[in-house]
Structure 1
Amino acid sequence: MSTDILWLIVKATGQTLQMVAIASVIGTLLGLPLGVFLATSGRGELYAAPGANRILGAVVNATRSVPFIILVVAIIPFTRLVAGTSIGTNAAIVPLTIATIPFVARLVESAIREVDPGLLEAARAMGATRLQIVWKVLLAEAKPGITLALTLTVVSLIGYSAMVGAVGGGGLGDLGIRYGYQRFMPDVMAAVVVVLIVLVQAVQSIGDRLARHFDKRARPR
């Protein structure tokens, strides 16, 4: 493998990390509070708003139901409006972020709903405010689950970032298609696959360690 190809792999890896990092941060900043709201806004819950819960839940489900590659194509006009172009790394961040928000929201909602309801009742009995219950009980107790949810999100985004390369999104997927497939260079395709596997393994390992660190039940007494 030539030096030029190695440089292309390094450059493509940087583009993939950029896409995944930005989409993860923005998606989490928007998806986390949305997930908290979905978990606490049902009938009789902490921030009871069943109408809003149903509407937002339907929007989240609809967005998650669209296959990612179709979502990328469907929102090309919106991508052009936001990024000024529909191809390249910056453009790819738009559909990646939109796909991330409902994904994070549902995973966070699931993690919060696993918190023991008795803890909420105890917090209410002690006079805790709703914000205190969310911050000091729900999010604190769900931290291991939320950590694993965000880990799964980043791992999924790495795969999505490779898929978006099929429509000119840049990154490792684009490199694999242009050189590994279209130019019949199996060594480049193999290198792209190896780099993707390493990235996923690294993210998963870090996420698992953080989840164990946050999990009070896993700590030795």
Structure 2
Amino acid sequence: MNDQQRALEILQRLKPLYSDSPCPLNYETPVQLLLAVIMAAQCTDERVNQVTAELYSKFPDAAAIASADPAELETILRPLSFFRNKTKNIQATSKMLVEQFDGLVPQDINQLVKLPGVARKTATMVLHYAYGIDAGITVDTHVKRLSSRMGFTQQTDLDKIEKDLMPLLPQSEWGNCFVFLTYHGRNVCNAKKPGCSTCTVADLCPAAVK
């Protein structure tokens, strides 16, 4: 079994477990998702969801955030790591959305990555969840760890890991790769003590403890 066959088989086995898994960040619109992902950098999803509950109740769209008092936004975002920088990014991004995209999130990855605070990882995640567009494979900490353990990459740079993963799967599975590996990393293959004895793909993983 080559790496492409192994990667597809891993996804097929994980699909029954995680195909209905929701986005871990709470949102009602693509704009809210985009801003939540920006805020989620180096921060837990749970804390971001607590902050966005208050933020979006007061400022529900790009226009509202673009025109908000920065000091008020900073106060709301204070529980987040790097809250000052994130405040600047979400307000600057909101202003660009209003001025250049009629307050909507563009569906093109090349336009998305030009927004403040938006890296390729952010853009691919937003496109997948908001629009069902798989423009790449989102490489978060879980995907990085699992793709290395499973022997699909030796890279540490996120963009290089994505380039190793994309040829292994059809584009229609790129979003599933991110979702399934992320949830499997949270639930089974955790960083400190991977649950190899209960892992449904242990026989396909070279790092599995036999």
Structure 1-normalised TM-score? 0.32
Indicate the structure with greater helix content.
Answer: 1
Q: Relative contact order (alpha carbons < 8 A, sep ≥ 6): 1 or 2 greater? A: 1
Report the structure number with the largest CA radius of gyration. 1
